[in-house]
Structure 1
Amino acid sequence: MLDTISTRSKVALVSGLMLVPITIGVSGYMLIEQASFLDALFMTITTVATVGYGEVFPLSSAGRIFTIFLIIGNLGIFAYSLSLITRFLVEGNFFEQIRRRRMKDKIKNLKQHVIVCGFGRNGQAACDMLQKHQIPFVILESKKELLELYLGREYVFYLNEDATKDESLLNAGIEHARGLITTLPNDADNVFVALTARGLNTKLTIISRASNGSSFTKLKRAGADNVIMPDTIGGAHMASLIVRPDVNEFVDILSGQAGADVQLEEFSYARLKKNLVGVNIVDLNIRKLSGANVIGLKKGDGSYIVNPNINMELEPDMKLIILGNSSQMETLKSLID
């Protein structure tokens, strides 16, 4: 039964148990011995604590009988309270509460981070990719054993909480987040998370996992911007490795999955500095300045242009898809930022 009591309730229970004999003792000594409040309190504390300081004032026979019952009654209460306190400390609840509070304080300072709901295989893969690109993220996972991989890492933020609860998403800083990835094993839970997250932050980019094809439409209606079906993608990828093995291996290299020093990044055209702004791709001079290449464009209406003509006119609402190695990307970022 004790395991079902919350930490706050345990603290209240211990405090109440300790207060009961003190209240009875002070009241008894004041009524029986006509003692002052301070003398009665001091006598009660020395009695229930069994420190043996002696009588603060002479006790009558009634006072001594009262003291005997106060000591006997307090022994059980004191022993039970001590066991609760010891269990609270030994099980790590006290230190866990301190760690959780510190973690929440750190998360409050995050801006433009990503919330990852669920830390199974898909969640771990998403976190590894985010960490590789140095994008801050917060993990929400209700099963503590799944978080053991990241426990103790100061640069990773995590909460051992249920992602389907509004309070958990708020604790993870959803109001200031840039995106949310929900990889919970149950599609219904992912739908609920997407729906709740969209209500808490209308500008949030939401990516959801789906196990069944029937959940795709539900997740989109709930507010998910993209829905990923890992099993379907995995099967299609395995088949494509038979049909077009070299092409797919090359795509894996471009996506960074093969471990090569290759990065694909997107840059807003409006983000470029004045010395980079031009009327077309060739005028940007990105290849000469950084060594990276523009391999695609995303237009304002959401459509894409693959391998755009270098003389194509650019628009302020366009995004540039750029390919290069880590050194080239750092050079480009330094020119932009």
Structure 2
Amino acid sequence: MRKITFKILSKMPAKFIDNGLILIAALFVYGIFGAHYVMDLDWLDSIYYATITMTTVGYGDYIPCTGIQKIFATTLSIGGVALLAYVFNIILTNFREKMSKYSQGARKMKAIEVMNDYYIICGLGRVGKVVLEELLERNQNVIVIEKDHDKCESIEETDNLVVINDDAIEDDLIAKLAGEKCRSVIICTGDDVSNLYIVLTVRETNPDAWIVTRASKLDNIKRLKKAGADKIVSPEIIGGEDLYYESTRPHILRVTVKHSADEIYDEFKIFAKHHCTLENIEYHIPGIETPLTREIKAMKLHDGKRYQNYLNSHDDQKNALENLYKTVNNVHSHRISGPDQKTFDKLLKDLEKQEEIIGVNLTNEEIATITSKEIR
């Protein structure tokens, strides 16, 4: 029975300590007035009697004789024992919980001290969990800061994962962690105000930190950028781009070609002629499956002309581009969007006259096989 009572009391939140103290005071007042009117004691003796009865000391100098006196003494002693036990158990439980949190905090900080090149994730919502999974798949060291206790409990800590149940905006914890060993601070909370505050805190304490933050609203992107965020990701923009690419998938062409850097503008004139948009360029490094991708999103002839003029006036950029073409043996792919398949057929015929076409809609694996053969 004692163990069951202790378990029940230990599960009660610390906020009930105040209520317990109020009940003890109320019982004490009840004991004083009862001793005065029921036991016929003066006020000083009533205080004395209420104290020794509630604490079950009971010296026996005042003995209840009548039935009502015995009932009063019984209720006072039982109430005193129960309430005192309740309050002291809550105090001890609260103390034990704080000591446990302190011990866990010390253990976590010790684990962080031996970590090298770690990422910090602030917020473990739907976005934060995806980021965490991606990092753990690549065996990266990660520190998660999340204020929701249940979310923290749902994640098992490992040698390269430390989960801290705290609010990143309430103290200087994030500022301490975002030091030299931190590779990136990834802010994933759904509240742009919290994100902004974290960005400001990290940037103030560590000017060199690489900060990536989520922006729930497009209007807040500029504010986060001014606050010091290096990269800002908006689910609205990403979702819109995904919808666009999925809707245009039947009208997207990936053509793998081989030509030198000097032929870029001539090639672009063909894209503009057929009213197609050059979405990106993928440079295929020999033997490596994943290409190096550059986003272009250009469709008008003056875009190509402007780029050609830029290269002609910047020798360093032109040399860098030529070196890149040499590295990939002039093999690269264009992802092109257009109105329909007939347009693509005409586009391919014109491209064949201009340059060597290696393949259409090839996979990265197929292209890697081709480029590997070229360097053997």
Match of residue 126, structure 1, among 108, 112, 131: 131
Q: Residue 113 of structure 2 corresponds to which residue in structure 1?
A: 108
Distance 1:125 1:248, change over 3 A: farther
Match of residue 325, structure 2, among 306, 309, 317: 309
SS of the aligned residue for 1:310 comes to helix
SS of the aligned residue for 1:116 comes to strand
Kept in 2: contact 1:296–1:307 (CA 8 A): no
The answer to whether 1:175 aligns with 2:179 is yes
Unaligned ranges ≥5, structure 2: 1-11, 18-54, 62-76, 255-284, 295-315, 329-363, 369-376
Superposed CA RMSD: 4.7
Matched residue type, 1:174: A
For 1:1-337, list aligned pairs within 5 A.
Answer: 3=13, 79-80=85-86, 82-85=88-91, 87-88=93-94, 94-170=99-175, 173-176=177-180, 177-244=182-249, 287=286, 291-292=287-288, 295-296=291-292, 308-310=324-326
Distance 1:154 1:88, change over 3 A: farther
1:114: how far off? 1.1
SS of the aligned residue for 1:101 comes to helix
Please give the alpha-carbon distance, in whole angstroms, between the structure 1 residues aligned to 2:150 and 2:323: 46
- 1:3-39 per-position Cα deviation (integer Å, ceiling 9, x unaligned): 567xxxx9xxxxxxxxxxxxxxxxxxxxxxxxxxxxx
- 1:81-125 per-position Cα deviation (integer Å, ceiling 9, x unaligned): 6412553388x5543432222112211232321111110011111
SS of the aligned residue for 1:233 comes to helix
Please give the alpha-carbon distance, in whole angstroms, between the structure 2 residues aligned to 1:95 and 1:248: 60
- Higher-RCO chain (CA-CA 8 Å, sequence separation at least 6): 2
Distance 1:4 1:87, change over 3 A: closer
Kept in 2: contact 1:150–1:156 (CA 8 A): no
1:156: how far off? 1.6
Please give the alpha-carbon distance, in whole angstroms, between the structure 2 residues aligned to 1:151 and 1:294: 32
Please give the alpha-carbon distance, in whole angstroms, between the structure 2 residues aligned to 1:143 and 1:119: 8
Distance 1:144 1:311, change over 3 A: closer
SS of the aligned residue for 1:308 comes to helix
Kept in 2: contact 1:115–1:137 (CA 8 A): yes
- Calculate the TM-score normalised by the size of structure 1: 0.52
Matched residue type, 1:150: I
- 1:130-160 per-position Cα deviation (integer Å, ceiling 9, x unaligned): 1112221111111112223314545421111
Larger Cα-atom Rg: 2
SS of the aligned residue for 1:243 comes to helix
The range that moved more, 94-103 or 213-222, is 94-103
SS of the aligned residue for 1:104 comes to helix
Please give the alpha-carbon distance, in whole angstroms, between the structure 1 residues aligned to 2:251 and 2:103: 52
Distance 1:297 1:229, change over 3 A: closer
Kept in 1: contact 2:211–2:229 (CA 8 A): yes
1:185: how far off? 0.8
Kept in 2: contact 1:241–1:248 (CA 8 A): no
Unaligned ranges ≥5, structure 1: 11-47, 51-62, 66-71, 250-285, 313-323, 329-337
More helix per residue: 2
Matched residue type, 1:292: I
- Calculate the TM-score normalised by the size of structure 2: 0.47
- 1:159-190 per-position Cα deviation (integer Å, ceiling 9, x unaligned): 1111113422145x211312101111111111
1:295: how far off? 4.0
Of all paired residues, the percent bearing the same amino acid is 22
SS of the aligned residue for 1:185 comes to coil
Please give the alpha-carbon distance, in whole angstroms, between the structure 1 residues aligned to 2:233 and 2:145: 19
Please give the alpha-carbon distance, in whole angstroms, between the structure 2 residues aligned to 1:107 and 1:297: 35
Please give the alpha-carbon distance, in whole angstroms, between the structure 1 residues aligned to 2:201 and 2:123: 15
Matched residue type, 2:93: R
SS of the aligned residue for 2:166 comes to coil
